[in-house]
Chains A and B, each alone.
Chain A
Amino acid sequence: MNEVAIHMADVGYQSGDKWLLQGVTATLARGRTAAVIGPSGAGKSTLLSLCNLLRTPTAGRIEVDGQDIRDWPVQRLRQKVGMVFQAATMFPGSVEDNVLFGLKLHNRPLTDAGRLLELVDLPRELLPKSASDLSGGQQQRVALARTLAMEPDVLLLDEVTSALDVHAKREVEETLLEIRSRLHTTMLWVTHDLRQARRVADDIWFLTAGRLVEEGPAERLLVEPATAQLRSFLAQAEEGEA
């Protein structure tokens, strides 16, 4: 198995006349979690959506398991590189329908939906309930269980806790950390919450204005930022937290 989960080389993405990302080169090793941080509009979510080909890079290449994403069969790539969004979308039906949704799409053998719910710290008694009746935090965990059912090697997390209250946010975050330690899932985690980035990240990718300005181990970058941009971003973020 390749030790590099995701490798990006000089990646750019253009929308209309505007380059939302340019010259992004970074590597995410298997089993590690990189927090993607940066100001709003820096291109964090765009970068994430390139990794499972929900958008196609305009320039450069992205490799998953050493193979260019454009060479992957799209549907296999998206099962391997799962994604959870900021707003959890619930499909009509029960919690069980939602958890098993992806497996049914691919006619894959159905696993125990209750076990998946327990994996995301929800009681299996919720299975027959209507998914739309759940709270925001519960829906986000059902969305996570639905993605985990596909047994992805990589999880793309797009501000998955930002729509949740403080309590639900910590719960979902702890669930994710637990999953990581149990399944050794590689994670690319977009967050605007610096404290969360400190808690979860092995690596930090700092993006600003569509460019990856700094990348490296969290313990170094968050303590000794090399660039003025990251220093100023951290200072502002800490001010906001205080």
Chain B
Amino acid sequence: MSYLSLSFTLLFVVVSLVLSVWLRLGVERDIVIAAVRAAIQLLVVGYILKFVFASHQTVFILLMVALIIAVAAWNARGRAKGIPGVIWSILIGLVVTEIVTQGLLLGIGVVPFQARYVITITGMIIGNSMVAAGLLLNRLQREVENGRAEITAVLALGGSPKQAIYPRLKQAIRAGMIPTIDSTKTTGLVQLPGMMTGQIIAGADPVQAVRYQLMILFCILAGSAMTSIVIGFLTYPKLFTAHQQLREG
């Protein structure tokens, strides 16, 4: 696709703008920002990937993976600014997820250690894990606010912070995992997932594309579960003080 034909697709943005103005939705500014940001980010990433793919340097692959994880962690942290040091829990959760999923894929030889596989698959797994982390943290904070009396009652009986928060933590971990589970259930029926679509457009055999997509779906499923569980268990102690008191919200 040439830049000229790409520029024609800007018409879709114009349609959204016109609709927003016409119906006074007030989202024109956001639409323009979103379109410009998406264009700049993707073009920059495209050129960076081209360079990394051509360089065949392991260090660049690792740097890209680190960058993806850092941006995802920073983004998820926005959901839980009130929890001190939560960025470290998120980073550990995402790194564990990356190591386990990629380690397995590379270890059993499903994909080779090449930039075009490692970076793209990392992007998909960490992207979904980031969403799971955000949902988990959001829900955890809400659960704690709503359950303050119950948590305090357990602490007052001499229960540990873990005993006090566990029912709430379980709900939050579920909240982090459920969207991935639901979208996995309906995949192919409601929407054709991105990786598969891309491969089919690029001319790949649909059945081969499906195999890759299934691999990704399973990785994403495991990734969101691991991320939610690791971050959940690393984060809940930060909600309590050294004297086992629930911190003020």
Report B142-196 residues with CB < 8 Å from chain A CB.
149-150, 152-160, 163
- Which chain A residues border B244 with CB–CB below 8 Å? 53, 74-75
Q: Which listed residue, A55, A56, A85, A102, touches B158 by the CB 8 Å rule?
A: A102
A55 to B243 CA separation, bound complex (whole angstroms): 8
Q: Does chain B have a CB within 8 A of A54?
A: yes
Q: Does chain B have a CB within 8 A of A185?
A: no
Q: Does chain A have a CB within 8 A of B120?
A: no
Establish whether residues B245 and A55, one from each chain, have CB atoms under 8 Å apart when the complex forms. Answer: yes
Chain A residues with a Cβ closer than 8 Å to the other chain, count: 27
A191 to B102 CA separation, bound complex (whole angstroms): 61
Contact-residue bracket for chain B: 10 to 19
A147 to B156 CA separation, bound complex (whole angstroms): 9
Q: Which listed residue, B153, B158, B243, touches A89 by the CB 8 Å rule?
A: B153
Establish whether residues A106 and B245, one from each chain, have CB atoms under 8 Å apart when the complex forms. Answer: no
A143 to B156 CA separation, bound complex (whole angstroms): 11
A106 to B155 CA separation, bound complex (whole angstroms): 12
A231 to B163 CA separation, bound complex (whole angstroms): 46
Q: Does chain A have a CB within 8 A of B241?
A: yes
Given A53-B245, A55-B245, A56-B241, A105 and B153 contact (CB-CB distance below 8 Å): no
- What are 13 A-B pairs with beta-carbon distances under 8 A? A54-B245, A56-B241, A56-B243, A74-B244, A75-B158, A77-B158, A78-B156, A78-B158, A83-B156, A89-B152, A102-B157, A106-B158, A150-B157
What 5 pairs across the A-B complex have the smallest Cβ distances? A102-B157, A78-B158, A79-B158, A89-B153, A75-B158
Interface residues of B (CB under 8 A from A): 149-150, 152-160, 163, 241, 243-245, 248
